[in-house]
Structure 1
Amino acid sequence: MSLEITLLVLIAAALHAGWNALIKISGDRIAVMAVVTLAGAVLSLFALPFVESPAPASWPLLALSILIHTGYHFFLPVAYDHGDLGQVYPIARGAAPILVTVGAFVFAGESVSGFALVGIGCLAVGVMALTFDGGKASSIKPKAVFFALATGVCIAAYTVVDGLGARQAGSILGFAVWLTIGDGILTFLIALIWKRREITGVIRDSALIGFAAGAMQIGAYWIIVYALAVAPMAMVSGLRETSVLFAALISTFILKEGFGVWRFVSATLVTFGLIVSRARN
């Protein structure tokens, strides 16, 4: 993976951690997620005239990805209802790289070197280590773990589907824009049935935050879809999980959720994983 793609993925990781933090701190989380994804869809509509439509061959994967992303948009805020950003985010993101490596091998025929596998493993273990706040596993709530793992499964699934779809679409950005429009509208409509009053309140009181988070969300996602289409999916997924380090900083210094020795352990493992995964690729 080139240095340019590496830097782009790191920028996407920072943006992703940022909008997740806004979801965590802003009112009813499902309602906020609905407004954020709708804002992303609206912003994507402005980009629509400037991108090519994805090829028909990619439409089944596009539809599948919209459904998976929509599930992700509901599992994530529910997980935040039961756990801290500093715990939910690492579990959700840490489960993804290994699952993506398996999925990319099975469905795309991708393989990675032994060094890359070691690096991806270190990244996964490193981000999962952040769940042990102060080194105490008992601080993890079962419901938070369940919904965070469900979120991680969605992340792994849409990473593989998005990578395959973008490669068949002919237009990488076209695929990404259509997807953010589709999943944003679908998420909002489902949430509107469930949380109409709460959504109205979010639009009234926190519209600016919603649009800022929406812009961060689609910016991060468009970068990742581009990277998935031009670089090995397992490598992109592993590097993207460095967003957990950004989330750890936000969790510690902004949300004041606490800081423990496992944060240092995680940072060391993630850094080592990055170096090793790029050493022979």
Structure 2
Amino acid sequence: MDTTVFLAVIAAAALHAGWNALLKIGLDRFLTATLIQIGAGLVALCGLPLVAMPAAAAWPWIALSALLHIGYNVFLSRAYQYGDLGQVYPIARGSSPLFVALLSLLLLHDSLGTGQWLGLLTLVLGIWLMAMRGGHGKAPPPALLFCALMTALFIAGYTLSDALGARANGDALSYSLWLFAVNGVVMGVVLAVTRGPRAFLQLGGHWRGGLAGGAMSMAAYSIVIWAMTQAPVALVSALRETSVLFAVLLGAVLLKEPLRPIRLIACAVITASVVLMKLA
């Protein structure tokens, strides 16, 4: 992987962990997730006049991705009801690279070298090592595992959809901005249907956090979408999951979640996987 792409994806990982920390802080996780998606949509809307309309071939992928993002937000917010940031986030994010790697071989014909596969598998091992003993030293309950793994499936789905869409469009920035604009509208409709129009009144006092989290979310994933047009999707997908390192750090510093020795070991394993993927 080119060094510029490599460093860009690492930066995206840090941004992604940041907005997930905002999600955990919210009293109502679904409302907070929706607020961030709407915030991202508003930020994207400001950039639409600067980019071209997506190609016709890209619109089905934008629509599919928007639907998959609904499931992602629903199950992610539910997972946070059963566990802390340092446990939910690693399971949800760390399980998707294997799904993406296998499916991208079939759908995108992206191939990885032996060293890259070794780095990817080492990353997944480190993430699961981090997740299997949560902040309180206990194994994750079944409800948390189910919601987190469902989140991982939706992550894999929209990752592949967006890789195909961005490649079909030929312009990653245009695809990304229109995707987030559509996502914001879709999540607003979902909120209105599931919670009623009055739910928007609850968001009003948190608009600054919503815009900040939305901007971080949009910037992080826009970088990833661009990177997937420059490098194998499986490799980009795996590398962005180094965000778990930033998530654990944010959980320890901002949310006072305990940082146990097993997590420090897992961080070392994940770091080693990054080196393997870069050198392969």
Q: If the TM-score is normalised by the length of the shorter chain, which range does it land in? A: over 0.9
**Counterpart amino acid of residue 118 in structure 1:** L
Please name the residue that 1:41 is paired with.
41
**Deviation of residue 85 (structure 1)?**
0.6
Asked whether the 8 Å contact 1:53–1:171 carries over to 2, the reply is no
**Deviation of residue 275 (structure 1)?**
1.1
**Deviation of residue 134 (structure 1)?**
6.2
SS of the equivalent of 2:111 reads coil
Please name the residue that 2:144 is paired with.
144
Change in 2 beyond 3 A, CA 1:134/1:211: closer
Asked whether the 8 Å contact 2:84–2:135 carries over to 1, the reply is no
**Deviation of residue 135 (structure 1)?**
9.0
Q: Distance in 1 between matches of 2:194 and 2:201?
A: 12
Q: Which runs of 5+ in 1 are unaligned?
A: none
Please name the residue that 2:231 is paired with.
231
Q: TM-score, normalised by structure 1?
A: 0.95
Please name the residue that 2:242 is paired with.
242
Asked whether the 8 Å contact 1:27–1:202 carries over to 2, the reply is no
Please name the residue that 2:125 is paired with.
125
| TM-align CA RMSD | 1.5
SS of the equivalent of 2:258 reads coil
Residue deviations 1:85-143, cap 9 Å, x none? 11100000100111111011010111100110000001111111111336987441221
Residue deviations 1:4-45, cap 9 Å, x none? 111111111111000001011122111111111111111111
**Deviation of residue 81 (structure 1)?**
1.6
**Deviation of residue 212 (structure 1)?**
0.7
Change in 2 beyond 3 A, CA 1:107/1:39: same
Q: Which runs of 5+ in 2 are unaligned?
A: none
Please name the residue that 1:105 is paired with.
105
Asked whether the 8 Å contact 1:252–1:258 carries over to 2, the reply is yes
Please identify, of 47-56 and 130-139, the stretch whose mean Cα deviation from structure 2 is larger: 130-139
Change in 2 beyond 3 A, CA 1:46/1:267: same
Instruction: Give matches, 1:165-184, under 5 Å.
Output: 165-184=165-184
User: Are 2:21 and 1:21 equivalent residues in the alignment?
Assistant: yes
Q: Distance in 2 between matches of 1:187 and 1:126?
A: 33
User: Are 2:4 and 1:4 equivalent residues in the alignment?
Assistant: yes
Q: Distance in 2 between matches of 1:239 and 1:106?
A: 20
Q: Distance in 2 between matches of 1:38 and 1:245?
A: 26
Please name the residue that 2:221 is paired with.
221
